[in-house]
Amino acid sequence: MNAVTSDLARQADQLSSDVVRPIPGSRKIHVAGSRPDLRVAMREVVLERTPTLFGGEDNPPLAVYDTSGPYTDPDVAIDLNRGLAPLRAQWIAERGDTVELDGPTSDYGRQREADPKLDAIRFANRPRPRRALPGTNVTQMHYARRGIVTPEMEYIAIRENQRLDALTDAGLLAQHPGQSFGAAIPMRITPEFVREEVARGRAIIPCNINHPESEPMIIGRNFLTKVNANIGNSAVSSGIAEEVEKLVWAIRWGADNVMDLSTGKHIHETREWIIRNSPVPVGTVPIYQALEKVGGVAEALTWEVFRDTLIEQAEQGVDYFTIHAGVLLRYVPLTAKRVTGIVSRGGSIMAKWCLAHHRESFLYEHFEEICEIMKAYDVAFSLGDGLRPGSIADANDAAQFAELETLGELTRIAWKHDVQTMVEGPGHVPMHLIKQNMDKQLAECGEAPFYTLGPLTTDIAPGYDHITSAIGAALIGWYGTAMLCYVTPKEHLGLPNKDDVREGLMAYRIAAHAADLAKGHPGAQARDNALSKARFEFRWQDQFNLGLDPERAMEYHDETMPKEAHKSAHFCSMCGPKFCSMRISQDVRDYAAENGLTDATALEAGMKAKAEEFRATGADVYNPL
Amino acid sequence: MNAVTSDLARQADQLSSDVVRPIPGSRKIHVAGSRPDLRVAMREVVLERTPTLFGGEDNPPLAVYDTSGPYTDPDVAIDLNRGLAPLRAQWIAERGDTVELDGPTSDYGRQREADPKLDAIRFANRPRPRRALPGTNVTQMHYARRGIVTPEMEYIAIRENQRLDALTDAGLLAQHPGQSFGAAIPMRITPEFVREEVARGRAIIPCNINHPESEPMIIGRNFLTKVNANIGNSAVSSGIAEEVEKLVWAIRWGADNVMDLSTGKHIHETREWIIRNSPVPVGTVPIYQALEKVGGVAEALTWEVFRDTLIEQAEQGVDYFTIHAGVLLRYVPLTAKRVTGIVSRGGSIMAKWCLAHHRESFLYEHFEEICEIMKAYDVAFSLGDGLRPGSIADANDAAQFAELETLGELTRIAWKHDVQTMVEGPGHVPMHLIKQNMDKQLAECGEAPFYTLGPLTTDIAPGYDHITSAIGAALIGWYGTAMLCYVTPKEHLGLPNKDDVREGLMAYRIAAHAADLAKGHPGAQARDNALSKARFEFRWQDQFNLGLDPERAMEYHDETMPKEAHKSAHFCSMCGPKFCSMRISQDVRDYAAENGLTDATALEAGMKAKAEEFRATGADVYNPL
């Protein structure tokens, strides 16, 4: 730890005490795997008994997928200045295929280490980087293809199952059959299934050997739909502490991954703080930093600068790189007549480079060398869609689809190197043109995971693009997209603050879950069922706690019915006690049960005689509490 | 006007000055029809010139559909205590098929008139009610079927077209072909087309002869998708002034209709205030008030009380009634095993009544008499889905679909009487089960307009159900639903306040527009195109003004870049000046244009030579402003 207690260190200390607030009504549990150090963290929502009026039974706790990491574990002492414990360090070390380096091997990494002006903002507790031994390949895909089930794969199998066995026991697994458009989702995720999916490239496990703090997760169409949150500062906004705080809030609200899209000063140092404190995979767009290094002049970019940047970031622990290698020279004029041209930052940088040099980019030309770097650290590709449409008008056009074909070609090259690969997608697309994107991606890219931004289904709602895009995200997730990149209400207007991160994540957790329900993911409906049962039985607190954002639900409820007594009220503020359909429904249910009325015939037979009795007892419903 | 200046009158005066804030960047225009008193209000967004950098051309103003009524017309003096001018009064009178009554003919209406305790809250400037002459039918459907094109139909044709001709002239009509699932949307809406659609029951024009203040609008799958906002107080919340204020804000934010769902005291008086000040159709659920009249005891409801309530409300000017006549006795046991039973208030009241009396409801048994009342005032049916699913688990079940079949039967009866009819739909439905709802409704109900609540695509997000349901609403709108009933963030938690109304409406304006785009509604994409062009050209103010909520967009922008200079900045806070893809795109575009590079071949030929030149000029992009 730095001897000088810098402002940043003080801010981090301060933050440490804020970010460990437990999630209401939940407790952290760990499900044991096959070895003592394989303990899969989940969040369990503890439920109340059903009130006697509604049957009086016990409700089993519900385990939910938990992205919040150790921050919500009361048994873990959080210290942002130290970073998280390296959960996977032993697994990585015992594979015996990596070497611990003395320090960064990139020129830039060494420069930053040596610069005393950075002492005050440098993350103090930096681990020494690792790299694959010469000639070895340390990607999860490489292991998978050799038939090895890694601890990461086993962790994921347990995590994805979300204790389905407990649900089966409790009879909570009943759900609608899904419509999965050709997905191959098993009833139960096994470690072997994880291995198979990674081996065939249909799923990726982003887990750089230099990010041992991350809890293994998987991105693939046959697993739960994931959500990515972008954070990062820019030249005109935000500092390091604020970005670390956004990270912690993002995972609390359900981000499965974060991308650090910083473009301002201290990109290198910001990234170190984020990775060391992140239990979720971290992605970047290395060309942003490379551009900073050449003074912001796209044409001045070189393979050498870019290559050094990849190594610099890989040794810090970035789990996936967005690389816009599909922007080919001949595609650029296809964008000239668009309404919004090229809207991807990376895409426009590369387009400019290609035009200026009149040749294919160094990303495309050196793609196999990039693969060599990726496999030395297990960094996954996120093949960037630099020519994605930035408006409804430009959706599904020649430029976009030409690039997608090239991304398919690059996927095959990456797979030749056993490098894990996902493919990025649009953008702005009206609803009826979304499926074509998914279908084409599956066909061109051999079912490599699709990772889409939205898509936004209309351009006319600046300030609400988390919603315009959640609609498209839900649809494309249903069709088969594996990870949804969130959009916040500030999209097109400014950089998101903490509140925007919350709004964006909630919209996207909804989209992802709606997609899982529609695909018929086993167990996906259990949480809906549990929450709806709680709602029907006026277990208010359970309804809040089972929701995606218990604190928000509680706050909204309290606005109308602030008193504590109302949280146990058997009616709600929308209708008041006399108009409560739930209460009346329970009367109907009780009546049917008492009279054995399970179908219409029985009703006809039994009801008339009981009508008088019901009239008498029914009046009870309206007794004021 | 009441001699005593009541608190309410003072509040209304106060409100009058608040609610006339013009919408930024817009002006009210009126498009002339075939007669002097037929002037169709629209909102025109005035646009800036394209900056020279991007071409320097003029951008024609864009007319957008305007639900805000006279409130945003600077030439109209708003006085909530007087109500709006009766736009349609002359049209109704000159048809010569109605009589002006001395006063209310319902028992309850007369009672309220005679009660001096209500003086302080009674709307003073009440018009005398009208009713059809004996033996006549004053519904728009009746006129349509006799071949009459009413001024209302002409108004609607002009309104729906949104000045498409101007768009054609400006070349702004280019858009993606839609996928409309069998809709029959013409390139141009004519008065005759409106008449045909109303005659065949595929569209309705809610326009009670006692609500002449309303600006005619249409609900049908071959017209723009509409949005309904629910307002209304309950026993535990809200007063009259607050509800009138919600009305005005709701239409400002795009509500095509409002439903007054009040269940508290003074339902009658609240409704009068709302209708007299509403330029959009107002719907109600009369059973709520009928239940109040019998002390909240469902079993005590009678046909006589209900009938009197219908007449009371019809003579105030309610434009459509939700009537849960499809809840049949034999369907009730089908709900007994549901997770959430019956969640419709009206549905549960009727179910209880049916069980208690062991017979079909008076709504079903007296349906033809109800039709007689409807056609004497031109009140439209909104056939309520009393057995809609209240959870994902209960979606598309036997109870729901049995009731839908009965709603089809009732639609045919209503049509026999030339009574305009729409049909209500769910509820909570996972994405993949939504289309079945639409398909079944079209088949069972002969394409009568579908009017759905959401549907919510998951149950797990209390506090965010405007989003869970906007996803479902966009989908079902695309499939053919004519009007979407909004859901606010407070759904399941409390009654919406003004902010919630805004959030709910924006989510639903987005869903409706996304649906129009996907269906390929002519001209629907023009606003997206205009906004995206403004975005690309950094016409910030135009981008804000063309959006659904200019004030929100501006506010969000200003949070990050508060200075006035930044609103003319040719970059934005997300990327900063060096990373601006839009700027780079424009370079690419200029370069392509200068070199005649309209396709890849031309590029190959022309670009190499120009590469050096581009390198030189391209550097300009990065000049700081």
What is the share, in percent, of chain A residues with pLDDT greater than 70?
89
Torsion angle of C-alpha atoms B522, B525, B526, B530, degrees rounded to 10: 180
**pLDDT tens-place string over residues A548-569:** 999 999 999 988 765 665 555 5
The predicted structure's pLDDT at residue A606: 46
Name residue, tokens 């460990």. Answer: A20
Alpha helices in A421-494 (DSSP H): 434-444, 465-479
**Of residues A178, A560, A598, nearest to B237 (C-beta):** A560
With an 8 Å Cβ cutoff, is A198 touching chain B?
no
Q: Which of A187, A179, A182, A259 is nearest to A488 (CA)?
A: A259
Is residue A499 predicted with pLDDT exceeding 80?
yes
Residues of A in contact with B468 (CB under 8 A): 510, 514
Q: Which of B430, B520, B532 is nearest to B480 (CA)?
A: B520
A601 or A469, higher pLDDT = A469
Q: Which of B153, B269, B288 is nearest to B230 (CA)?
A: B288
Query: For chain A, how many residues are written?
Result: 625
CATH of domain B191-515: 3.20.20.540
Residue A244 and residue A279 in contact, taking contact as beta carbons nearer than 8 Å: no
The predicted structure's pLDDT at residue A234: 64
The predicted structure's pLDDT at residue A1: 37
Tokens standing for A29?
A: 């549990």
Q: What are phi and psi of B532, to 5 degrees?
A: -65, -35
DSSP letters for A306-338: HHHHHHHHHHHT--EEEE-TT--GGGGGGGTT-
Of the given ranges (A121-130, A374-383, B594-603), which has the lowest mean pLDDT? B594-603
Q: Do A457 and B478 touch (CB under 8 A)?
A: no
Taking the C-alpha atoms of residue A91 and residue A84, their distance in angstroms, rounded to an integer, is 16
Q: Which of B331, B326, B341, B473 is nearest to B408 (CA)?
A: B326
**Of residues B464, B597, B600, nearest to A548 (C-beta):** B464
> In the predicted model, what is the mean pLDDT of residues B458-470?
98
Of the given ranges (A116-120, B107-111, B460-464, B542-546), which has the lowest mean pLDDT? A116-120
Tokens standing for B261?
A: 């769902």
> In the predicted model, what is the mean pLDDT of residues A304-329?
98
Q: Which residue of B has its CA nearest to A553?
A: B463
- Reported confidence tier of residue B578, pLDDT bands at 50, 70, 90: low
Is residue A319 predicted with pLDDT exceeding 60?
yes
Q: Do B582 and A340 touch (CB under 8 A)?
A: yes
Is residue B91 predicted with pLDDT exceeding 50?
yes
With an 8 Å Cβ cutoff, is A548 touching chain B?
yes
Tokens standing for A432?
A: 């009826």
Cα of A274 to nearest chain B Cα, Å = 20
With an 8 Å Cβ cutoff, is A581 touching chain B?
yes
Residue A223 and residue A254 in contact, taking contact as beta carbons nearer than 8 Å: no
With an 8 Å Cβ cutoff, is A590 touching chain B?
no
Question: Was B386 annotated as part of a binding site?
Answer: yes
Taking the C-alpha atoms of residue B186 and residue A372, their distance in angstroms, rounded to an integer, is 57
Is residue B619 predicted with pLDDT exceeding 60?
no
**pLDDT tens-place string over residues B396-415:** 999 999 999 999 999 999 99
With an 8 Å Cβ cutoff, is B356 touching chain A?
yes
Residue A166 and residue A63 in contact, taking contact as beta carbons nearer than 8 Å: yes
Taking the C-alpha atoms of residue A467 and residue B466, their distance in angstroms, rounded to an integer, is 9
Taking the C-alpha atoms of residue B176 and residue A394, their distance in angstroms, rounded to an integer, is 10
Q: Which of B493, B503, B594 best probes binding to A when mutated, by most A CB atoms within 10 angstroms?
A: B493
Is residue A4 predicted with pLDDT exceeding 50?
no
Sheet strands (E) in A211-342: 219-220, 226-231, 257-260, 282-284, 320-323
> In the predicted model, what is the mean pLDDT of residues A498-526?
96
The predicted structure's pLDDT at residue B21: 82
Taking the C-alpha atoms of residue A58 and residue A70, their distance in angstroms, rounded to an integer, is 29
Residue B477 and residue B512 in contact, taking contact as beta carbons nearer than 8 Å: yes
Q: Which of B322, B403, B460 best probes binding to A when mutated, by most A CB atoms within 10 angstroms?
A: B460
- Reported confidence tier of residue A334, pLDDT bands at 50, 70, 90: very high
Is residue A22 predicted with pLDDT exceeding 90?
no
Q: Do A234 and B574 touch (CB under 8 A)?
A: yes
> In the predicted model, what is the mean pLDDT of residues B257-281?
93
Q: Which residue of A has its CA nearest to B535?
A: A340
A49 or A594, higher pLDDT = A49
With an 8 Å Cβ cutoff, is B190 touching chain A?
no
> How much is the mean pLDDT over chain A?
90
What is the share, in percent, of chain B residues with pLDDT greater than 90?
78
With an 8 Å Cβ cutoff, is B552 touching chain A?
yes
The ranges assigned to domains in chain B are: 24-63+148-189+522-569, 191-515, 570-624
Taking the C-alpha atoms of residue B191 and residue B195, their distance in angstroms, rounded to an integer, is 6
The predicted structure's pLDDT at residue B49: 96
Tokens standing for B206?
A: 């809610």
Q: Which of B444, B204, B181, B500 is nearest to B326 (CA)?
A: B444
Q: In DSSP terms, which residues pair with B42 in a beta bridge?
A: B29
Is residue B230 predicted with pLDDT exceeding 70?
yes
> In the predicted model, what is the mean pLDDT of residues A214-220?
98
**pLDDT tens-place string over residues A386-424:** 999 999 999 999 999 999 999 999 999 999 999 999 999
With an 8 Å Cβ cutoff, is A487 touching chain B?
no
> In the predicted model, what is the mean pLDDT of residues A228-233?
90
> Before B427, cis peptide (omega within 30)?
yes
Q: Which of B358, B353, B240, B347 is nearest to B297 (CA)?
A: B353
Q: What are phi and psi of A383, to 5 degrees?
A: -70, 115
Residue B54 and residue B537 in contact, taking contact as beta carbons nearer than 8 Å: yes
Report DSSP state, residue A69: G
Cα of A253 to nearest chain B Cα, Å = 12
Question: Was B324 annotated as part of a binding site?
Answer: yes
Q: Do B600 and A463 touch (CB under 8 A)?
A: no
Residues of B in contact with A588 (CB under 8 A): 332, 335-336, 341-342, 348, 351-352, 355
